[in-house]
Amino acid sequence: MKIAIITASYPPMRNSGAIQVQDLAMALACAGHKPFVLFPDNVVKEPVVSEEQNNITNLRIKFPKMRDRNYIIRAVFELLMPYAMWYRLSASKFKDNSYDAVICYSPSIFFAPLIRKLKSKNNAICYLIVRDLFPKWSVDLGLIKSGSLVHKFLQFIEVKLYRAVDIIGVQTESNFEHFERISLSKNTSVQVLYNWLSKLSKSTCSINLNETKLRGRKIFVYAGNMGVAQGLESIISVINEFKNDEMIGFLFVGRGTLFSKIKKQIEEGDLDNTIIYPEISPEEIPPLYQQCHAGLICLDKRHTTDNIPGKFLSYMRSALPVLAVVNPENDIIKIIEENRVGVATDKHDIKELARCFRSLINFIDNDSEINQRCHALFEEKFSANNAATAIINALEKRRRHLNLEI
């Protein structure tokens, strides 16, 4: 099957979405399909640049940089993006490319015009991968005022996207409720599609914890985005409780709007049990985790939607138990508890978090099989091959259904 994959981010970008799309494309290619990844690129000089990599065709489409801009400029750019991508493709030597199916990777909600063009031209079916419910999460965190003109406009764009596709894959069953309130096209279906990662490959890390003040400690690690949505203040606040405990250490690696603030808090708090580093390449993350004992997950308690952070998958892949501090009733709590791969809570107060840290340390010290269970859970539910198989099965089922109707 020839498949167009639409995404707003792709390597060399380092965010989790870019890595997930690459892993999915590789899994599809290994299964005998032909992926074409279509994405905006602010580096290329030509309107469309094609690259072949492991039976994957990457179509880098020239478009201005969108990250690290203010919200208004970014929104304008994202509105224009699908039209610019279609215009450049239509004027290039790739204009006659045909596709059997389209896969769109959200959180960008602005791709509906491009999806409609590709579906119409190719009589194709589209599978939308929804990882975050936007703009809902921005309203939850107070970044957008509920009922404002901005909120209503973004909701309008969101619904346009959902109505342009045939199948929607969400992270958990709890997300179904969101779509029950939306008037979808009558043939649009919603299903659970767990997050995914590819299997580990050999790599090295520039950070050697044996050469730092964390040597010999049980190390809790957080690597990734440090923004408002993560609510890392809860974790930082409890570190002081272990300030004089020479057996426990904390490691933060990443970037984001709160990176400087968190770094300042660590330095001003004179926390000898904590180190913070800037972002490293994704390839360095697995060997970094191999030097640690537990992974940290944190989501702002104001979230009202459920998602399974990509960090949870990377911890499971590396056989690393987790401590998760998340929003109330998040499905990840049930997953962690049922599979006995760590400790989870929706309470963000210091006493509860300190109890959770001690509980996980006891867990690690006395349960010799916890690491094995972590990796087994990854293999069972969160591999890229599982995701690719689920998507292909859904697309083929829909195609058979449409053929019957015809």
Q: What is the pLDDT of residues 266-305, one digit of tens each?
A: 888 778 899 999 999 888 999 999 999 999 998 877 765 6
- CA-to-CA separations, 115 to 96, 163, 166, 199, 255, in angstroms, rounded: 16, 11, 11, 30, 32
Query: How far apart, in whole angstroms, are the C-alpha atoms of residue 374 and residue 366?
Result: 15
Query: How far apart, in whole angstroms, are the C-alpha atoms of residue 388 and residue 395?
Result: 11
Measured at the CA of 162, the angle between CA 90 and CA 406, to 5 degrees, comes to 75
Largest CA distance in the chain: 71
pLDDT at 404 over 60: no
Helix or strand holding residue 386 (H, E): helix 384-405
pLDDT of residue 406: 38
pTM given for the model:
0.80
Confidence of residue 65 (pLDDT cuts 50, 70, 90): confident
What single string gives the DSSP state of each residue in 245-286?
-TTEEEEEEEESTTHHHHHHHHHHTT-TTEEEEE---GGGHH
More confident residue, 302 or 111: 111
pLDDT at 107 over 90: no
- The CATH number given to 2-198+383-405 is 3.40.50.2000
Percentage of residues of the chain with pLDDT beyond 90: 58
pLDDT at 104 over 50: yes
Percentage of residues of the chain with pLDDT beyond 70: 96
The predicted model gives 189-203 an average pLDDT of: 88
The predicted model gives 183-203 an average pLDDT of: 86
pLDDT of residue 208: 95
pLDDT of residue 174: 80
Strands 34-41 and 2-6: parallel
What single string gives the DSSP state of each residue in 148-194?
SHHHHHHHHHHHHHHHH-SEEEESSGGGHHHHHTS---TT-EEEE--
pLDDT at 360 over 90: yes
The phi, psi pair for 299, rounded to 5°, reads -130, 140
pLDDT of residue 282: 84
- The CATH number given to 209-381 is 3.40.50.2000
Q: Which pair of structure tokens corresponds to residue 114?
A: 């491009």
pLDDT of residue 228: 64
The predicted model gives 168-175 an average pLDDT of: 87
Are 191 and 176 in contact by the 8 Å Cβ rule? The answer is no
Residue spans of the domains in the chain: they are: 2-198+383-405, 209-381
**CB proximity list for 279: less than 8 A, separation 6 or greater:** 14, 253, 254, 255
The predicted model gives 340-349 an average pLDDT of: 91
Q: Taking the CA of residue 183 as centre, how many other CA atoms within 13 Å lie in the half-sphere pointing to its CB?
A: 1
Q: How many Å separate Cα 52 from the centre of its chain?
A: 25
* pLDDT tens readout for residues 207-257: 999 999 999 999 999 998 887 666 677 788 888 889 888 899 999 998 887
Same fold, 2-198+383-405 and 209-381: yes
pLDDT of residue 244: 84
**Averaged confidence pLDDT in the chain:** 89
* pLDDT tens readout for residues 72-82: 788 889 899 99
Query: How much is the CA Rg of the chain, to the nearest whole Å?
Result: 22
Taking alpha carbons only, the member of 126, 147, 125, 151 closest to residue 138 is 151
pLDDT at 129 over 80: yes
What single string gives the DSSP state of each residue in 57-126?
EEEEEE----TTS-HHHHHHHHHHHHHHHHHHHHTSTTTT---SEEEEEES----HHHHHHHHHHHT-EE
- CA-to-CA separations, 124 to 120, 235, 335, 355, in angstroms, rounded: 7, 46, 35, 52
pLDDT at 405 over 60: no
* pLDDT tens readout for residues 141-160: 677 888 888 889 888 998 99
- Beta partners for 41? 62
Sheet containing 248-255, strands listed edge to edge, beginning at the edge strand earlier in sequence? 274-278, 248-255, 218-225, 294-298, 322-325, 342-345
Q: How many residues does the chain have?
A: 406
Are 390 and 193 in contact by the 8 Å Cβ rule? The answer is yes
* pLDDT tens readout for residues 42-64: 999 999 999 999 899 999 999 99
pLDDT at 311 over 80: yes
Residue whose pair of structure tokens reads 């180190």 in the numeric block: 275
pLDDT of residue 201: 78
pLDDT at 357 over 70: yes
Query: How far apart, in whole angstroms, are the C-alpha atoms of residue 344 and residue 117?
Result: 44
